[in-house]
Copies of this chain bind each other. A is one copy, B any other.
Amino acid sequence: MFKEGDYILIVYGDKRFLKRLSKGFSLNVKDAVLKFEDVVGKEEGSKVGDFYLFRPTVEEIILYGFKRKTQIIYPKDAFYIAYTLGLDKSKRVLEFGTGSGALTTVLSLLGGEVWTFEASENFYKLALSNWEAFGLCKEVKHFNMDFMQAELEEEFFDAAFVDVREPWHYLEKLHKVLKKGARCGFLLPTTNQVSTLLKNLQGLFSDVTVLEILHRYYKTNPDRLRPEDRMVAHTGYLIFCRKIT
């Protein structure tokens, strides 16, 4: 039952809205209006006019609820990253930079202990405020600090994910703080960056894979099934590898 302060995913035709239910809340779509009084006390899955009311998943929170100042790591990529790093509740994982905190959120659901570093104060505060708004990442250890400044034990982390523009500058320290054989991932938007990273991994990391993930959505008319006219063609290249000794 929705109550004041809840976040609600509102579906109207093929449009989706993520809104906080506060007094005076009102949503206008075309000629339809949804108001605070229409929603409060309703069950999930209720229909009010042509609006459907649901609780958002973490994917929808990230896509429609998180504030961002730059490109986020999209859920399609984040979900794959979290599992392919081999995370479970017994694992300690390192992330830098935190950015808007999207990947941190996903890692924190699957992993045991998440440490995340963000050099920029702006981004650090953005991530904190995104998590706070939705009650996420409460156990995450977060640092407003360049990873290079962090004092960390050697062979401390089971896995790592790196989302910075020039990750090759961090590889030696990264290698040190990872356990033997640990999985490590990177997200890079351009092929030039991928080439430079691949060159610099040699000798420190092996078992390298590079891939991109494409999602293609379909229109849902059962009598006229066909893909959407347009799709997201690129978010970034994912690179995974393992520490060697």
Contact = CB atoms under 8 A, between A and B. Distances in A.
Contacts of A192: 191, 195, 223-225
Nearest to A208: B220
A234 interface: yes
A71 to B, nearest CB: 9
Nearest to A219: B210
Interface size bracket, A side = 35 or more
Query: Copies of this chain, how many?
Result: 4
Contacts of A85: 57
B59 A83 contact: yes
Given A191-B191, A207-B11, A86 B58 contact: yes
Secondary structure class of chain A's binding surface, majority of residues: mixed
Given A11-B206, A180-B45, A233-B216, A226 B84 contact: no
Given A58-B83, A222-B196, A180 B228 contact: no
23 contacts: A11-B207, A16-B207, A45-B243, A45-B245, A47-B206, A47-B245, A52-B242, A57-B84, A57-B183, A58-B86, A80-B80, A190-B224, A190-B225, A191-B225, A192-B223, A194-B222, A199-B222, A209-B217, A212-B216, A212-B218, A227-B233, A229-B233, A231-B231
Interface of A: 11, 16, 43-47, 52-59, 75-76, 78-80, 82-88, 106, 109-110, 179-183, 189-192, 194-199, 206-234, 237, 242-245
